[in-house]
């Protein structure tokens, strides 16, 4: 990161305690958060944890680099996609926004960019909550009897299979089923026992023939 807050970033790193990672959330939860797959409260909880744990903060910094490279990689394989989900070309350092002359320059640049920008871009694959959220819907009730709980979702035209992840409300992955050809999944007994009387989160990735993944939002399920 470069910019006027570099000094704060360095102080932030230096201030974090070198804690044990016994209670750290799984790395996949951080990826899901960064991909926009989780509701704000969940992301906030993960980010707040990283603000007390040097190891998780380090994992988030690695995550930022890796996701940026993944986005650039996807852009190479999806013609027309922008290489990095980063700032627009006219983005200014934060502090300069208070300076009128630069602000005027920025406004002029924004106007220029709006006029000259390329046509709308393809969304990047697997960006839950950032464009594909309407593609997959939950079709099973949000409240179900624990004994017969079943996850059902809408069809994604052209999908070759579906992957389903079931998590606890605090983002512990309880079950992952991969390569499902149908559009439903009976909740496994072990998961039902774990979640008896409580809530669960679940989401679906539809796998397309070219390997891209269309991701659903995260759905809730309550067992009674």
Partner 1 sequence: MTPTRGGDSGSQDPDPDSIERIRQVLIRAVERHCPPALAAQREDLVQMALVRLLERPRGEGSNPRGASYLWRVAYTVVIDEIRRVRRQQRQAEQLPEGEQRTPGPEARSELLECLGALQDRRRTAVTLHLEGFRTAEVATALGWTEKQAENLVYRGLADLRACLEGGDT
Beta-sheet strands, E only, within 57-216: 143-144, 150-152, 161-167, 173-180, 184-186, 199-207, 213-215
164 close to 200: Cβ distance less than 8 angstroms: no
**Backbone conformation region of residue 70, classed left if phi is above 0, alpha if psi is from -120 to 50, else beta:** alpha
Q: Which of 117, 145, 158, 190 binds partner 1 (CB under 8 A)?
A: 190
Q: Give residue for tokens 């996609």.
A: 81
151 touching partner 1, by CB under 8 A: no
Please, which residues have CB within 8 angstroms of residue 73's CB and are 6 or more apart in sequence? Answer: none
Residue 137 or 175 having the CB closest to partner 1: 175
Q: Draw the binding track, 51-80, toward partner 1 (x: CB under 8 A; -: no contact).
A: xx--x-xxxxxxxxxxxxxx--xx--x---
Q: Which of 80, 83, 88, 111 binds partner 1 (CB under 8 A)?
A: 88
200 touching partner 1, by CB under 8 A: no
Stretch touching partner 1 by CB under 8 A, among 88-96, 113-121, 136-144, 195-203: 88-96
Q: Which of 102, 105, 109, 130 binds partner 1 (CB under 8 A)?
A: 130
86 touching partner 1, by CB under 8 A: yes
> Contacts with partner 1 in 1-60 (CB under 8 A)?
1, 5, 8-9, 11-12, 14-18, 20-21, 24, 26-28, 30-31, 33-36, 39-40, 43-44, 47-48, 50-52, 55, 57-60
135 touching partner 1, by CB under 8 A: no
Distance CA 145, CA 195 (A): 12
Q: Give Cα separations from 74 to 29, 62, 82, 142 (angstroms).
A: 21, 18, 9, 34
Pairing outcome for strands 199-207 and 161-167: antiparallel
> Contacts with partner 1 in 98-117 (CB under 8 A)?
none
Q: Which of 79, 101, 157, 179 binds partner 1 (CB under 8 A)?
A: 179
Stretch touching partner 1 by CB under 8 A, among 85-93, 104-112, 134-142, 147-155: 85-93
Shortest distance in whole angstroms from residue 1 CB to partner 1: 5
Distance CA 160, CA 154 (A): 14
Q: Which residues pair with 185 in a beta bridge?
A: 151
Please, which residues have CB within 8 angstroms of residue 124's CB and are 6 or more apart in sequence? Answer: 71, 74, 75, 78, 81, 85, 130
192 touching partner 1, by CB under 8 A: no
């Amino acid at each position: 990161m470069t910019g006027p807050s570099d000094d704060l970033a360095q102080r932030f790193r230096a201030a974090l305690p070198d804690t044990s990672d016994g209670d750290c959330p799984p790395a996949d939860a951080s990826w899901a958060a960064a991909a926009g797959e989780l509701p704000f409260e969940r992301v906030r909880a993960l980010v707040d944890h990283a603000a007390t744990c040097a190891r998780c903060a380090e994992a988030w910094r690695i995550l930022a680099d890796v996701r940026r490279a993944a986005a650039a990689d996807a852009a190479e394989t999806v013609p027309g996609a922008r290489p990095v989900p980063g700032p627009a070309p006219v983005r200014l350092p934060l502090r300069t926004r208070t300076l009128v002359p630069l602000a005027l320059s920025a406004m002029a640049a924004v106007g220029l960019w709006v006029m000259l920008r390329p046509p709308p871009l393809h969304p990047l694959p697997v960006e839950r909550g950032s464009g594909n959220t309407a593609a997959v819907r939950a079709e099973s009730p949000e409240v179900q009897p624990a004994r017969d709980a079943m996850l059902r979702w809408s069809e994604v035209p052209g999908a070759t299979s579906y992957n389903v992840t079931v998590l606890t409300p605090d983002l512990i992955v309880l079950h992952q089923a991969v390569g499902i050809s149908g559009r439903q999944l009976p909740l496994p007994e072990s998961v039902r026992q774990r979640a008896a009387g409580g809530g669960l989160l679940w989401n679906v990735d539809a796998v397309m023939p070219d390997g891209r993944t269309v991701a659903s939002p995260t759905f809730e399920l309550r067992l009674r």
